[in-house]
């Protein structure tokens, strides 16, 4: 935390993610979910769609290539104090006959504009929808669970897990992002 305190960033640039999953939409979902918890911690967060557009105009279309660039070059394009790099390690739904488990796993790195890493964290979250049938025949409960698992597998909802992961990492985790200069005080009664 001494590096973070010395850097004292005021603005954070959230760049497109590295996607190590098979879902091509995952980076867009993750990118959309990142600014809110970072801004709530009291930092100016550059608009992610504008950031993505400007980086594309500079020839940086893929997260992997952006993450390989020197941080000072990326930060200088926007005048940012720090750059937030996120890697999607896992974004999938594992299906078994009567259960589906949705999993997300991310690595977060905050790098000061001079290239010094000032904060990092990893988060993995899982969700397995439960069948809430508490009565009826065991066969009906089994069929209901199988249908619920199949529906979750067909259209898993990753956003609640992604938002929870970000909230836990930036706000409630073991190593949360320290409060920024624009953090509003919590109102008291």
Q: Is the dihedral of CA 115, 119, 124, 129 positive or negative?
A: negative
pLDDT digits (tens, 9 = 90+) for 90-111: 988 776 656 667 789 999 999 9
Alpha helices, DSSP H, located in the chain: 2-7, 26-33, 35-40, 48-57, 63-68, 71-78, 138-154, 159-167
- All structural domains of the chain, each given as residue ranges with its CATH number in brackets, are 2-172 (3.40.50.10610)
Predicted TM-score (pTM) of the model is: 0.83
Highest-confidence range of 37-41, 132-136, 163-167, by mean pLDDT?
Answer: 37-41
The DSSP code for 169 is I
pLDDT digits (tens, 9 = 90+) for 27-77: 999 999 999 999 999 999 999 999 999 999 999 999 999 999 999 999 999
Pairing of strands 44-45, 11-14: parallel
The DSSP code for 25 is T
User: Are 105 and 86 contacting, i.e. CB atoms less than 8 angstroms apart?
Assistant: no
């Amino acid at each position: 935390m001494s590096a973070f305190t010395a850097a004292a960033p005021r603005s954070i640039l959230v760049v497109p993610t590295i996607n190590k999953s098979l879902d091509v939409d995952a980076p867009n979902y993750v990118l959309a979910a990142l600014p809110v918890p970072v801004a709530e911690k009291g930092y100016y967060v550059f608009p992610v769609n504008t950031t993505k557009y400007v980086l594309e105009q500079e020839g940086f279309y893929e997260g992997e290539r952006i993450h390989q660039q020197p941080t000072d070059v990326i930060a200088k394009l926007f005048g940012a104090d720090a750059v937030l790099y996120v890697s999607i390690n896992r974004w999938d739904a594992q299906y078994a006959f009567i259960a589906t488990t949705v999993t997300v796993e991310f690595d977060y790195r905050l790098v000061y504009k001079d290239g010094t890493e000032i904060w990092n964290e990893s988060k993995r979250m899982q969700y397995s929808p439960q069948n809430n049938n508490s009565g009826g025949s065991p066969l009906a409960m089994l069929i209901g669970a199988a249908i619920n698992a199949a529906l979750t597998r067909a259209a898993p909802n990753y956003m609640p897990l992604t938002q929870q992961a970000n909230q836990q990492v930036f706000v409630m985790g073991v190593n949360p992002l320290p409060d920024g200069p624009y953090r509003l005080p919590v109102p008291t009664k």
